[in-house]
Amino acid sequence: MRKLALLALMVFWSFPATAQQLSSEAKWATVTAAEYESHPDIVYKKANQFECKLDVISATDKAHPRPTLIYIHGGGWVGGSKESAALRTLPFLAAGMNVVNVEYRLGPVSLAPAAVEDCRCALRWVYKHAKDYGFDLNHLVVNGHSAGGHLSLMTGMLTPEAGFDNECPGPENLQVAAIVNYYGITDVADLLAGPNEKSYAVMWLGSLRDRFELAKQLSPLTYVRPGLPPIFTAQGDADPTVPYQHSVRLHKALTAAGVANELYTVPGGKHGGWTTDQYLSVQEAIFAFLKQHGVLGQ
């Protein structure tokens, strides 16, 4: 999160010095630098001799809790980092939200289901430290791209009965107000063999026994049921990395269960790498969705 603070300062320094000449972007960066504080590399869990860390950017005014984004990076569960994905949180920061940027154990450190367990523990940490950082627990949004989209879905959809909370048990009833899923995997077993086999999925489950059964337990489609939080999904219909049908199947299942949801299809879109206009349209649709469901103010 140091990068975000530096970015705000860099934007400010890149514009003329007088207040009359500041662009709206520079004004936003100046106000953000003054009203927010950064807390990098907080250890929220230790497992397998690995320290799981997260970064927090929170408003200095803790007396008035703010809606909070919990962001989970992608990388096929075997790569990526919270630092490399940090700038993806900027639109939500600009909307006045706090931000929690989460890392988790990757496949080379711990095979599945470690990443899911870690992200659930990160959500538990947010609950336990809500007063310390001004997190509004009634307005939590979990968001991620690709594998991070999958982990966001799992983090927001799981119940304790699923068995993935045992590394960080607690009395809190872990719930989120909404899930924003960018082209996340919804059927892990589909990627382990057959026409949709993907090396990143095979690597994440390795040679674990009953890996197809575990893959089912790690699939968001398994946990579709009435009463879930609103779910927004965005994906390109030409995605070569995660089958577009994963999003279609999730959308149909959620709709059948009566869960508020939206599938935003990017025509011809690949696995990210969309045009600026496409990204802007998706972000506008996300904010409209969150406002519609009372997660953000009108």
| Mean local confidence (pLDDT), 162-172 | 96
Beta-bridge partners for 265: 235
Mean of pLDDT values over 150-176:
96
Mean pLDDT of 276-288: 98
Q: How far apart are CA 193 and CA 159, in angstroms?
A: 28
CATH H superfamily, domain 40-292: Alpha/Beta hydrolase fold, catalytic domain (3.40.50.1820)
* Helix spans in the chain (H): 2-13, 24-35, 90-94, 114-128, 130-133, 147-157, 199-205, 211-217, 244-256, 276-292
pTM of the model: 0.92
Domain ranges across the chain: 40-292
pLDDT in tens, 225-271: 999 999 999 999 999 999 999 999 999 999 999 999 999 999 999 99
Distances from the Cα of 117 to the Cα of 45, 155, 270, angstroms: 10, 9, 29
Averaged pLDDT of the chain: 93
Residue 59 has pLDDT above 50, yes or no: yes
Please count the other Cβ atoms lying within 10 Å of the Cβ belonging to residue 164.
22
Q: What tokens does 47 get?
A: 């497992």
Question: Is the CB of residue 204 less than 8 Å from the CB of residue 212?
Answer: no
Comparing C-alpha atoms, which of 265, 260, 270 is closest to residue 238? 270
Query: Cis peptide before 113, with omega less than 30 degrees from 0?
Result: yes
pLDDT at 176 over 60: yes
Q: What share of the chain in percent tops pLDDT 70?
A: 93
Task: Say if residue 20's pLDDT is above 70.
Answer: no
Closest among 290, 223, 298 to 260, alpha carbons compared: 290
Both tokens assigned to 75: 């990388």
> Residues 6 or more apart from 40 whose CB is under 8 A from it?
1, 2, 55
